[in-house]
Structure 1
């Protein structure tokens, strides 16, 4: 069946894209700020125009047909390009713009840099806001493509992001070890001293902790893990027991040493951790995201005196 784009109501494609994401008429209607009957009517028109049921009701959700699956990618890409073009046409003035920047970051960046980022964003774009979610074991292509995220902060060399995303280095921050004050460990630790006590493992999915284990394995030793944590929140009270060591990015280590009775030890040889930014090619020329990337580079330069940007 031949379908002319000129005869197809393009508003129906937005309904189709939202239904593909939500798989539920009620939720799709809420997302589109339309009534359920309007969304149902739009779906009916699409079914007639495309000569396909598109979605089949199951017990829990509306399941897309093979035709719908084939259309989903091109329609999402076309809508994303249109959205990007409209944003670019409007331009971006940080002093007057109202926008929410959405990023996924490792816990170390959330803990060590997000408060300063919020302050810098407020100074330069007072009507803009920030939403942060924790980095997960995902390639993030779909989230970035559909606009659920603007940028992902990941790790260089970790191979955890889709190769179809653009990536650029942000800044480097080495890993350090923390011990309780009075531990009598030297200022610089080698592998033997590093495994002298049980460790706190600080992430449910953490590149930095994997780097520590790889570093130790290369040097022929292994550490004992005393506690596994999903974040950094419980590290200070656990360290106060005097039983553990913990390896963290230096930005976290210096923060903890400033506020708690802990001391910082450099590692020899060093374990550098390089943070990078990643985004979808569809938004590579988005003026707002470009401005936000420059803000992140400025932040790294202000805090650590270096950034790849």
Structure 2
């Protein structure tokens, strides 16, 4: 016996078949499906030809199913139910019941600034969810890692480019200047003379592009004295505490660093343009309710806080 090729069958015909079984009437089936009676009759004709069986024959009280139709009704009804369920909207993400790990690629700035508040929020809403921070990969591999799901979100200082990568601004970041509290600087704005005299501890950008501090100083004909170059933001205030060096850090973590390392916080002596922090994910998971929930929580904790000041 030759195998039935389901690909050659219009699945809409099966819906007509089920309603015909329920109503035992072409006219009532047409009303139920909002089709004309000739359209229902034509669908039944196609089914009969395809299955080589009459399926329904006239009876005293309407259409009567054949033995073949009786064999088919339960499997067909069940199959259509499975298809409908598969095509329904994805079930909502239930944080309180979820057990999964989200992987966020980010630098230590994000770990120190956003992660504590994010984990606090997640721990309350979704105690079974784990947030894992992983290193930011090389630009050439980011898109593949997002597409594969090895990384859920990337947070960084540059918008990500790549096929089907979604990248949007997350927050504006301004720099503040830290120095020994023992200097007893009373002014909110850091004095330019001291800024140029005292060595700075500098965060090393991966792409080696000159920092916005150096660019702003150069525009006014100045150059700072660099005393140390580090790879993590956390090292900057630690060195400043030991040496009296100056460091410039994002304002989101400036006050916290000042508390931890006995430093004072000031506005830089020159205007420094803010830089944008971006977050990125892959379009493949854009409609995943779990990822949508995570992105919403990241945006919440990254939003500017009312009353924030230097």
Normalised-by-shorter TM-score class: 0.5 to 0.7
Cα distance change, pair 194–206 in 1 and its aligned pair in 2 (3 A): farther
**1:171 CA displacement:** 1.8
* In the alignment, structure 1 residue 294 sits paired with structure 2 residue 296: yes
Question: Which residue of structure 2 lines up, in the alignment, with residue 219 of structure 1?
Answer: 220
**1:131 CA displacement:** 0.7
Question: Which residue of structure 2 lines up, in the alignment, with residue 129 of structure 1?
Answer: 130
The answer for unaligned runs of 5 or more in structure 1 is 1-5, 7-84
Question: Which residue of structure 2 lines up, in the alignment, with residue 238 of structure 1?
Answer: 239
Q: Deviations over 1:231-288 (max 9, x none)?
A: 1343344222343101110122111112221001112414312212111121222211
Question: Which residue of structure 1 lines up, in the alignment, with residue 174 of structure 2?
Answer: 174
Preserved contact between residue 203 and residue 209 of structure 1 (Cα < 8 Å): no
Question: Which residue of structure 1 lines up, in the alignment, with residue 117 of structure 2?
Answer: 116
Cα distance change, pair 207–91 in 1 and its aligned pair in 2 (3 A): farther
Q: Over alpha carbons, which structure has the higher Rg?
A: 2
- Aligned equivalents of 1:203, 1:273: Cα separation in 2: 16
Q: Deviations over 1:71-110 (max 9, x none)?
A: xxxxxxxxxxxxxx99x73542111111111111122111
Q: Please provide the CA RMSD for this pair.
A: 2.9
- Aligned equivalents of 1:220, 1:163: Cα separation in 2: 42
Size of the aligned set, in residue pairs, is 219
Matched position secondary structure for 1:169: strand
Q: What are the within-5 Å matches in structure 2 for residues 1-309 of structure 1?
A: 89-139=90-140, 140-155=142-157, 158=158, 161-162=161-162, 164-185=164-185, 186-189=187-190, 193-203=194-204, 205=206, 210-267=211-268, 268-301=270-303, 304-305=305-306
The answer for unaligned runs of 5 or more in structure 2 is 1-6, 8-85
Cα distance change, pair 180–170 in 1 and its aligned pair in 2 (3 A): same
- Aligned equivalents of 2:209, 2:305: Cα separation in 1: 19
- Aligned equivalents of 2:164, 2:299: Cα separation in 1: 22
- Aligned equivalents of 1:150, 1:136: Cα separation in 2: 13
**1:112 CA displacement:** 1.6
- Aligned equivalents of 2:192, 2:135: Cα separation in 1: 30
Cα distance change, pair 235–195 in 1 and its aligned pair in 2 (3 A): same
